[in-house]
Amino acid sequence: MFVNRPHHVSHLFSNLKYVVIDEIHSFIGSGRGAQLKSILSRLQDLNSKKFNIVGLSATIGDYEEAKKFTGDVLHTKVLLDKTSKEIETEFRYFKNEGIELPLDLLKDLYLETRNNKVLIFPNSRGRAEEVAVKLKKISEKVKGHTNYFSHHSSVDKEVREYVEHFAKSNNRQNFCISCTSTLELGIDIGSVDEVVQIDATNSISSLIQRVGRSGRQNGAKSNLFLYATDKWSLLQSLACWQLYKEKFIEPSEPMNLVYDILLHQSLSITKGHSGIKLVDLIKQLNHNFAFNDIEVSDVEEILNHLIAIDFLEKLKDEVIIGIEGEKIVNNRDFYSAFTVEDNFKVVSAGNKIGEIPFSPQVKEDENILLAAKIWKIKFVDFKAKKIEVIPTNDGKKPKFSGEGGIVHPEIRKKMLEIIYQDEIFSELDQNSSEELEKMRREFSVFDLQNIESERLLLVSEKKVLFYTFTGTKINRTLKLLFDVIEIKNILDDRISMFYIMISKEEFLSKLNLISSNIEIIDEIVTKELEKNPESLTLSKWGVYLPVKFQIRLMKQNYYDIKQTQEFLHNINGIVENL
């Protein structure tokens, strides 16, 4: 509306009293959040009086970051509801030897959920489809209910809305919805009896949001079942649960240098004004509280760059959208801060079911799972990006893009702590307890004395494994440093471990070299990114920035130089196996 109907914005929003942001934590530390802050700031400029901003969340780890959404941190209050809710929790372990979930897990899951209203959270869209379809098949065999659904971003909006309406309005029938984070947040589907998490969440915040979906009636307790299919997932789930009980919620990573959103908003403001004086555009951007941490000189440099690449055109003291910029702002993809997947539309008998990305699986006579049903591909129209399907009886989950999420260092440290303590956890079933004890025996070969200052190095004739037990962004930074100083390695961040492919002696020598020179890590990372500009594609709008700003974005959003320096400074002992 700011872009296409700016006169309507003033008419509709110039007398705002309140803006309510539900699930405000989901906007903190994201491009969407920066875009929202910018829009709030622009709306505030249209109002003669200051409107109130109310943010709601059950899982804020950093109140100061949340306050920034008001543009007035000093006068923003935090109101806490300290009412606690009882949560009944049980961990179950079924070791997975293959790609698909173990049949024993699915049978156990069916028996646990068949007589309840349930949300199941696997960690991917493909897994969500697998769970929904296979539970439905089990239920059909034993003549149980057929109310099994999937709900994620690739399922058509109308299908998702039907599932939401069914869950909210249905009081008698039991149901099971296998979903991703689409049902983790604010969509109202009423209360459910149970929440199931399959394998570990990447954050405590996400786990709390999910379990909060159950037991919403007054006085009711929440019921949470955590299924794990490998030992590391079990350990991470347990670590998240223990930290939650300790009332720790990881703070969202701040994104203060949002040069990419500034670029986007520069085009939006210019288009909305049908041209604007350059000095006024600079003034608006500097006044916008979303960009408080960006220097005026950087704003000017980015705008001059936009003029140089013809995204903006300068006419005396005014700028308008340039020829190349027109291609951007007139595209419907302009309005979102994040990249939209290039998907194929899946259609059956003229009805849209959803969308899936192209993969080798997308071919005629291949069977796929989507919207909790099985489909056979009859025709692929590559030009129209459309897949015609018909119902069938067996199939494979689609392959969706997306990498694992970011895990906070405290979760990994808690995982290490659990391994080296003797505590018995009543929430674990027998299989889970046995697997945890097995892990403790495996790691008993290390004489670890201090989880704060020591890390583990497993050395054998065939391999050297370095267990960092730290956060994802620190591991990414360490990997870049290892690559630069020629420590041949493979990072498995899922278990926070580096497979080292040089001798132990050479590795320890080079690791000591890094630890002794932590003050130049920023310089090393910057120079390495300058050598590889093709790697700087993390942001939708960042690709149009000058390279130096792309590098700053990458260092802020993908790596963590400060915490890596602290990690290396604090680790003063590498413990080898006995």
CA distance 104 to 110: 10
| Burial of 82: CB neighbours in 10 Å, binned 0-12, 13-18, 19+ | exposed
Q: Structure tokens of 167?
A: 């869950």
- Count the neighbouring beta carbons within 10 Å of the beta carbon of residue 118: 25
User: Contact, 5 vs 38, CB < 8 A?
Assistant: no
The pLDDT profile of the chain, 578 residues, written as one tens digit per residue, is: 566 566 677 778 788 888 898 888 888 888 888 889 998 898 888 887 888 899 888 788 788 888 888 888 888 998 887 777 788 999 999 999 888 899 999 999 999 999 999 999 998 889 999 999 999 999 999 999 999 999 998 899 999 999 999 998 888 899 999 998 878 776 778 778 999 999 999 999 889 888 887 766 666 788 899 999 999 999 999 999 999 999 999 888 778 899 999 999 999 999 988 999 999 999 999 999 999 999 999 999 999 999 999 999 999 999 999 999 999 999 888 887 777 677 888 999 889 998 887 777 788 888 888 888 888 999 999 888 899 999 887 766 666 655 568 999 999 999 999 999 999 999 999 999 999 999 999 999 999 999 999 999 999 988 999 999 999 999 999 999 999 999 999 999 999 999 999 999 999 999 999 999 999 999 999 999 998 877 776 788 999 999 999 999 999 999 999 999 999 999 989 999 97
Query: How far apart (Å, rounded) are the C-alpha atoms in residues 448 and 437?
Result: 17
- Percentages helix, strand, coil for the chain (3-state, rounded to 5) are 45, 20, 35
3-class state of residue 350 by DSSP = coil
Q: What pLDDT is attached to residue 142?
A: 95
Instruction: Report the relative pairing of strands 489-492 and 497-500 from DSSP bridges.
Output: antiparallel
> What fold is seen in the domain 446-576?
Gyrase A; domain 2 (3.30.1360)
262, 311 in Cβ contact below 8 A? Answer: no
Q: What is the pTM of this model?
A: 0.88
Contact yes or no for 207/244 (Cβ under 8 A): yes
pLDDT of residue 363: 82
* Strands ordered across the beta sheet of 454-459: 489-492, 497-500, 464-467, 454-459, 573-576
Sheet-wide strand order for 367-370: 351-357, 343-348, 386-391, 373-381, 367-370
DSSP assignment of 105-153 equals HHHHHHHHHTTSEEEEE-SSHHHHHHHHHHHHHHHHHTT----EEEEST
Going from N- to C-terminal start, the domains of the chain cover 6-79+254-335, 87-245, 343-391, 446-576
87-245 with 446-576: one CATH topology?
A: no
**Which is nearest to 418 in space by CA: 91, 60, 62?**
91
Residue 575, CA atoms < 13 Å, CB-side half-sphere? 18
Tell me what pLDDT residue 4 has.
56
Query: Is 411 in contact with 240 (CB distance < 8 Å)?
Result: yes
Domain 87-245 - what CATH class?
A: alpha beta
Cα 407 from Cα 468, distance rounded (Å):
13
pLDDT of residue 2: 64
Q: Up-side HSE of residue 82: CA atoms within 13 Å toward CB?
A: 1
**466 strand-pairing partners:** 457, 498
Q: Are 186 and 209 in contact (CB under 8 A)?
A: no
pLDDT in the model for residue 192: 87
DSSP type of residue 155: B
Taking each helix axis from N to C end, the angle separating 231-245 and 430-442, rounded to the nearest 10 degrees, works out to 100
Give me the pLDDT at residue 506, please: 96
Length of the chain: 578
- Which segments of 309-382 does DSSP mark as H helices, in order? 323-329
β-bridge partners, 118: 176, 194
